[in-house]
Amino acid sequence: MPLTVAVQMDPIARIRIAGDSTFALLLEAQARGHRLLHYTPDRLRLSGSRLETMAEPLEVKDVAGDHARLGEPALVDLSTVDVVLLRQDPPFDLAYITTTHLLERIHPRTFVVNDPRAVRDAPEKLFVMDFPELMPPTLVARDRAAIEAFRREHGDVVMKPLYGFGGAAVFKVGPNDPNFGSLFDLFSATLREPWVIQKFLPAVSRGDKRIILVDGEARGAVNRVPSGDDIRSNMVRGGAARETELTPREREICERIGPELARRGLLFVGIDVIDGYLTEINVTSPTGVRAIKMLGGPDLAVAIWDAIEAKRPAR
């Protein structure tokens, strides 16, 4: 049965479709005959008990530069649509958190993917700390004495903002690094939240594996290899996508966390694994769908839409 699908995302005209997972989901939804609506999060409004937005009818095609056709915007009561895709990119700030509070008012009658409460309750670098046995040694703190003690114990570490994204402001710091004091001052002046300090894994040079889980089940993966001497493997930072298979350890990680993802309503999740260690659980706007298909893997947009259609409550 055709559905009405509203996608909450950044302006579609700006996206790079070759690597955009949201665009892959839109292509598959359109191929299934679903009606698409596009809106940006700043257009949400709560009018009494009604959650509304100005949204445009959307048609997509897989042609860079001519990938989206938008119709005339109209006011839409989001309780009347069948599915909302919560797909704007971080930062995970108060504006993002507010959209989850608003969307929670219509979910699950309007099926929001991912569940907005679960997204709000699972900050990506904190949620992963629910599984410390799967992770490298990790500290979340901004206290200098605690950070220096962690460095003395573990040697080379990576420091990054707790709510950072896309590989921004990720630093490798050695045990006797003369830049640590300046970096600590910089983080203290620019960030109010704690930071993540994690034991450095040298095997990152061989890749940081992004594994996609659909309704708690591992369905595909891509290995992201850093460029040159950069420690960041994010493809927006120049990382290269490589074909890969899951190791027994990676399957064990997925089997350990999968049931909790499904229980929370986190239907589309991307986890990051380096050298058999879980480092992040990405729930806001995971990427990797198009890269996996491009490298000969499955079209995970199909699996995601199969899961949405199966789990969406009947109206």
Query: Percentages helix, strand, coil for the chain, rounded to the nearest 5?
Result: 35, 30, 35
Task: Write down the catalytic residue from 151, 264, 272, 290.
Answer: 272
The DSSP output letter for 288 is -
Radius of gyration of the chain (CA): 20
210 is annotated as an active-site residue: yes
Task: Write down the catalytic residue from 115, 234, 280, 290.
Answer: 280
Write down the residue that tokens 């119709």 correspond to.
71
Which tokens go with 6?
């509203």
Task: Write down the catalytic residue from 114, 115, 120, 125.
Answer: 125
Task: Write down the catalytic residue from 232, 234, 250, 264.
Answer: 232
125 is annotated as an active-site residue: yes
179 is annotated as an active-site residue: no
232 is annotated as an active-site residue: yes
Structure-derived torsion over alpha carbons of residues 47, 50, 52, 57, reported in degrees to the nearest 10: -150
Task: Write down the catalytic residue from 199, 210, 219, 264.
Answer: 210
Task: Write down the catalytic residue from 87, 115, 282, 290.
Answer: 282
Q: How far apart are CA 51 and CA 202, in angstroms?
A: 48
Task: Write down the catalytic residue from 224, 234, 250, 290.
Answer: 224
Task: Write down the catalytic residue from 160, 209, 219, 264.
Answer: 160
224 is annotated as an active-site residue: yes
Name which of 44, 36, 22 is nearest 101 in CA terms.
Answer: 44
Compute CA distances 2 → 32, 38, 310, whole Å: 7, 17, 13
The DSSP output letter for 216 is T
Task: Tell me the catalytic residues.
Answer: 125, 160, 210, 224, 232, 272, 280, 282
